[in-house]
A and B are shown apart, each in its own frame.
Chain A
Amino acid sequence: MSTKTIVCRCEDITEEDILKAIDRGYDTLEEIKQVLRCGMGPCQGRTCIPLITRLIAHKTGKSVAEINPPTARPPLQPVPISLFAGEEE
């Protein structure tokens, strides 16, 4: 992959951005999410998280299985506000 490779399409984050963040000590998925917003966009990490997991594994020498996924946040996929607001208790 060249350094111009986009890893996170929602936030326009490249492979190089990820590798630099790991070099600065942000070597978990939660920290990458905090500093680069990967996983916070409309795809909720479905595209980028597997790719970033591999980059972290490669950089830190850990296996992919050792890298904790970020906390899953409901509603998991975008849901209109009107849907929740309209429902009676």
Chain B
Amino acid sequence: MKESAEVVIIGGGVSGCGTAYYLAKKGVTDVVILEKNILCNGATGRCGGGIRQQFTTEANIRLAMESVSIFEHLSEELGIDIEYDQGGYLIIAYEDEVDQFKKNVVLQNSLGLESRFISPEEAREIVPNLCIDSIAGATFCQTDGHANPFKVVQGYSEKAQKMGVSIEKRTKVTGITCEEGCITAVRTTRGTIRTGTVVNAAGAYSRDIAQMVGVELPNKPYRHEILVTEPIEHILDPMVISFKTGIYFSQQECGAIIGGIGDPEEPSSYSMKGSLRFLKRMTRTMVDLVPAFGHLNVLRQWAGLYDVTPDAQPILGWTDEVEGFCQANGYSGHGFMISPKVTELISELIVDGKTSMPIDDLNLARFEGEITGEAYVVG
């Protein structure tokens, strides 16, 4: 392992690997990624792969839209098929959600996103098997979609390594050394690396990393469960989601239906166990929306951790208290979908000292004042 590096990134998910790739692309290749297990072992490798731009805060909408324009050419850029598919996102609207959803569409349209409110009948044209008895409509955005998170990380990490980035797997960070408020080294189970810059991209464990230098992050971990069915012929174009029930599901390129459902009773914890409670809630909600899914077989269920902030927006950028400590965490369940733009911006911040899109509002310091947050969190 290297004894020193210009930048040390903690965490081998899409946030860490994307940051490493864009740093290398900007010419900073003296970079080490420290991953305590294997790449993609945390939230990135456990997520549903959805890529949505229909959000309710300007920051999230802009980050997502910019990310989509990167996703659109990412397979070509990374030289790997990331299985990107723009089948859209269909957000089910129930009666009491209609007014708010229409307002959200107005905000999204004002930022240039082509989302629209549609009738239940139009929703059924997009998802032919959809049961529309209890729904009042939907919002739809065709340029939303999904990709394969494993392939994206594989692309970012392999390309970054070709440009000179080192990836140290099975290497756990045990401490961070600071002198006079500046980071000087990262200590690991396999030795110490001298560095002045650390990117905290450790997902749900970012809080523990920050505590090593006395910085308190407001992030909390929450288990979110997900399942996948056997592969079937292509029957579903968009990702279908509902904020009311917390469900989301889509069909992957391999033909499998993959989806999850949020649980309002889930306490904050680091548990990643699968539960029967989830299977029951998920499958019932699924067959309520698409009765034909009852015939499918469940192949696997698993869980991952959302790294949730008080306003459900990520924490990005430098930390006031400790020089050289950059946050790239707190994605609150929508990290993968905004990762291309976010990680590019983090690389700009580190290399150029400024970003092409303002991210000051997403700084850790924002939690000192009043908080207005993202309302659209699913799963």
Tell me the complex Cα distance, A79–B279, Å. Answer: 11
B274 CB contact (under 8 Å) in A35, A73, A80? A73
Tell me whether chain B's interface is mostly helix, strand or loop, or mixed: mixed
Q: Is B230 an interface residue (CB 8 A)?
A: yes
Tell me the complex Cα distance, A74–B272, Å. Answer: 13
Contact call A74/B274, Cβ cutoff below 8 A: yes
Taking CB atoms and an 8 Å cut-off, the chain A residues in 20-74 that contact chain B are 24, 28, 30-31, 34-35, 37, 40-42, 44, 71, 73-74
B296 CB contact (under 8 Å) in A34, A37, A74, A80? A80
A29 → chain B closest CB, angstroms: 10
Which residues of the other chain, A, contact B294 by a CB distance below 8 angstroms? Answer: 80-82, 85
Contact call B293/A81, Cβ cutoff below 8 A: yes
Q: A34-B150, A84-B280 are in contact. Are A78 and B38 (CB under 8 A)?
A: no
B298 CB contact (under 8 Å) in A31, A75, A87, A89? A75
Contact call A75/B293, Cβ cutoff below 8 A: no
Chain A's closest residue to B80 (CB) is A35
Chain A's closest residue to B298 (CB) is A79
Number of interface residues of A (CB under 8 A): 24
A76 → chain B closest CB, angstroms: 9
A74 → chain B closest CB, angstroms: 5
Q: Is B286 an interface residue (CB 8 A)?
A: yes
Chain B's closest residue to A11 (CB) is B254
Contact call A85/B280, Cβ cutoff below 8 A: yes
Interface-centre pick from B230, B296, B297 (highest chain A CB count, 10 A): B297
Chain B's closest residue to A43 (CB) is B299
Contact call A37/B254, Cβ cutoff below 8 A: yes
Contact call B280/A74, Cβ cutoff below 8 A: no
Chain A's closest residue to B299 (CB) is A78
Q: Is B142 an interface residue (CB 8 A)?
A: no
A72 → chain B closest CB, angstroms: 10
Which residues of the other chain, A, contact B40 by a CB distance below 8 angstroms? Answer: 34
Q: Is B357 an interface residue (CB 8 A)?
A: no
Chain B's closest residue to A78 (CB) is B297
Contact call A82/B298, Cβ cutoff below 8 A: no
Q: Is B283 an interface residue (CB 8 A)?
A: yes
Tell me the complex Cα distance, A87–B279, Å. Answer: 11
Contact call B38/A31, Cβ cutoff below 8 A: yes
Which residues of the other chain, A, contact B286 by a CB distance below 8 angstroms? Answer: 81, 85
B12 → chain A closest CB, angstroms: 11
B256 → chain A closest CB, angstroms: 8
Q: Is B302 an interface residue (CB 8 A)?
A: yes
Tell me the complex Cα distance, A80–B294, Å. Answer: 7
Q: A30-B41, A73-B300 are in contact. Are A87 and B295 (CB under 8 A)?
A: no
Which residues of the other chain, B, contact A85 by a CB distance below 8 angstroms? Answer: 280, 283-284, 286-287, 294
Contact call B284/A73, Cβ cutoff below 8 A: no
27 contacts between A and B (CB under 8 A): A24-B158, A30-B38, A30-B41, A31-B39, A34-B45, A34-B150, A34-B154, A35-B150, A35-B154, A37-B254, A40-B299, A41-B231, A41-B299, A42-B297, A44-B299, A74-B274, A74-B301, A78-B230, A78-B298, A81-B229, A81-B298, A82-B283, A82-B287, A82-B294, A84-B280, A85-B280, A85-B294
Residues of B within 8 A of A (CB): 38-41, 45, 150, 154, 158, 228-231, 254, 274, 279-280, 282-284, 286-287, 293-302
Closest 4 pairs (CB-CB, A-B) = A78-B297, A82-B294, A85-B283, A73-B300
| Apart from A34-B39, A44-B299, A81-B298, 10 more pairs, CB < 8 Å | A30-B41, A35-B150, A42-B299, A74-B300, A75-B279, A81-B295, A82-B295, A84-B279, A84-B282, A84-B284
